[in-house]
Amino acid sequence: MDLLIVCSIVKLVVQVKLLPTPEQAAALEATLDAASRAANLVAALAFQRHCFRNFDLRKHTYDRIKAEFGLAAQAAQHVIKKVCDAYRTLHANLAAGHLGKPGSPRRAAIEARPISFRSLAAQPYDDRCLSWQHDARTVSIWTTAGRLKGVTFTGSARQLALLAAHRRGESDLVCRDGMWFLHATVEVADRPPSEPDGFVGVDLGIANIATTSDGVRHRGRGLNAVRHRHRRLRRRLQAKRTKSAKRLLKRRRRREVRFAANVNHVIAKSIVTEAERTGRGIVLEDLQGIRERVRLRKPQRVTLHAWSFHQLGAFIAYKAVRAGVAVIVVDAAYTSQQCSHCGHVDKRNRPDQATFLCTSCGFAEHADVNAARNIASRGETGWAVSHAA
Ligand SMILES: [Zn+2]
């Protein structure tokens, strides 16, 4: 059985807004621009030489981009790493067939060119080029115009508290719509989960965003309505192809993402609260991304649906760990076709999207609730196995 117990350290990303003076903003902008031009040069050289490993690329490009673009040593290293990471993601996507079949025009077009970065692409900063003064709410940050001291930042009370207590590792400098942000990584260690008295299984879906083995269905009706509205609008605007249409689309998409995040928070809270109240653990399906790290970063080329699933899983895992609720992740293969009553697996057990009707024992249940029960019992088995060992 594929099983993962989410450990008691959670990584998440806290966003704070920078409030630079016009001069500071100009320096930040020049810095991101230089980093992007450097990244484009590195990407082109990597492409030309078929050299995508960090170590090799550094040999060829490190000195040159430092000199040509005025980058500090760490900034140059981050640029090279950023390019390597981008190629690794691209190659993985190509291999997985996400960008079309080999030989398809779309794929050929992607393969024919080096990766390129937009002029204000995000740039990672480590502790040597970015330091935080939490009491003064300022940062000191390296730029191509020298070190900027006393750049003010702001955020919610909770974000600021998390940052001051748990920030670790790199932060990304991000420019969006003329506003400046730092996305800082926070690592929160929590109390170890208590021994669960049973498990709540959670099935993630589209019509029902989350269904628990207790039979609670979180429909997120508002969310699907927003998505449909957005899709209709997108079709209309894409036909126009004007700049203002594009801007409007971008704004709408961001609003949709915020709305989805809020819905996910509410659902996650409800599920975790119920598990905590009843002393149970939570079992989630293994969605790639929950596995690796609970980090809310949007990977490239992932649909909002997939992204939203990962986010919900991540929110549940995060809130559960904070509450001391055990979380197990299980392989969810066939959970929708398997009878949670007798174990019989058959495609025909699902006469339609919403219905589960066992062809062997006659057990009937809402399809998502049945799947959630299977997930719960897989978690239970997994927990027993891993704790016996
Ligand atoms: Zn059955």
More confident residue, 302 or 91: 91
Q: What is the Å distance from ligand 1's center to 107 Cα?
A: 45
Q: What is the Å distance from ligand 1's center to 285 Cα?
A: 21
Judge whether 80 and 62 are in contact, CB under 8 Å. Answer: yes
355-388 in b/e form (b: 16+ CB < 10 A) is ebbbeeeebebebbbbbbbbbbbbbbebbeeeee
pLDDT at position 207, please? 72
pLDDT tens-digit map of 271-293: 999 999 999 999 988 765 333 32
Q: What is the Å distance from ligand 1's center to 284 Cα?
A: 22
Q: What is the Å distance from ligand 1's center to 50 Cα?
A: 55
CB-facing half-sphere around the CA of 216: CA atoms within 13 A: 14
- The DSSP line for 72-115 is -HHHHHHHHHHHHHHHHHHHHHHHTTTT-STT-HHHHHHHTS--
pLDDT surpassing 80 at residue 46: yes
Q: What is the Å distance from ligand 1's center to 338 Cα?
A: 8
Q: What is the Å distance from ligand 1's center to 370 Cα?
A: 11
pLDDT surpassing 50 at residue 301: no
> What contacts 248, CB < 8 A, 6 or more positions away?
237
Euclidean distance between CA atoms 375 and 372, whole angstroms = 5
Judge whether 33 and 119 are in contact, CB under 8 Å. Answer: yes
pLDDT surpassing 60 at residue 20: yes
pLDDT at position 175, please? 92
Euclidean distance between CA atoms 379 and 328, whole angstroms = 6
pLDDT surpassing 50 at residue 295: no
Q: What is the Å distance from ligand 1's center to 328 Cα?
A: 25
pLDDT at position 307, please? 67
Q: Which of 26-35, 131-140, 277-286 has the lowest mean pLDDT?
A: 277-286
Euclidean distance between CA atoms 308 and 310, whole angstroms = 5
Average pLDDT over residues 303-329: 78
Most confident of 27-41, 78-92, 318-332: 27-41
Q: What is the Å distance from ligand 1's center to 336 Cα?
A: 12
Average pLDDT over residues 236-246: 82
Q: What is the Å distance from ligand 1's center to 374 Cα?
A: 12
Most confident of 94-108, 187-201, 375-389: 94-108
Burial level of 226, CB count in 10 A (0-12/13-18/19+)? middle
Euclidean distance between CA atoms 79 and 367, whole angstroms = 48
Q: How confident is the model at residue 5 (pLDDT cuts 50, 70, 90)?
A: very low
- pLDDT cut 70: percent of the chain above it: 89
Q: What is the Å distance from ligand 1's center to 330 Cα?
A: 21
pLDDT at position 92, please? 84
Encoded tokens for 161:
């508290």
User: Which residue is it, tokens 């939490």?
Assistant: 134
Average pLDDT over residues 11-26: 90
Q: What is the Å distance from ligand 1's center to 341 Cα?
A: 5
Average pLDDT over residues 345-362: 93
pLDDT surpassing 90 at residue 362: yes
Q: What is the Å distance from ligand 1's center to 357 Cα?
A: 8
pLDDT surpassing 70 at residue 303: no
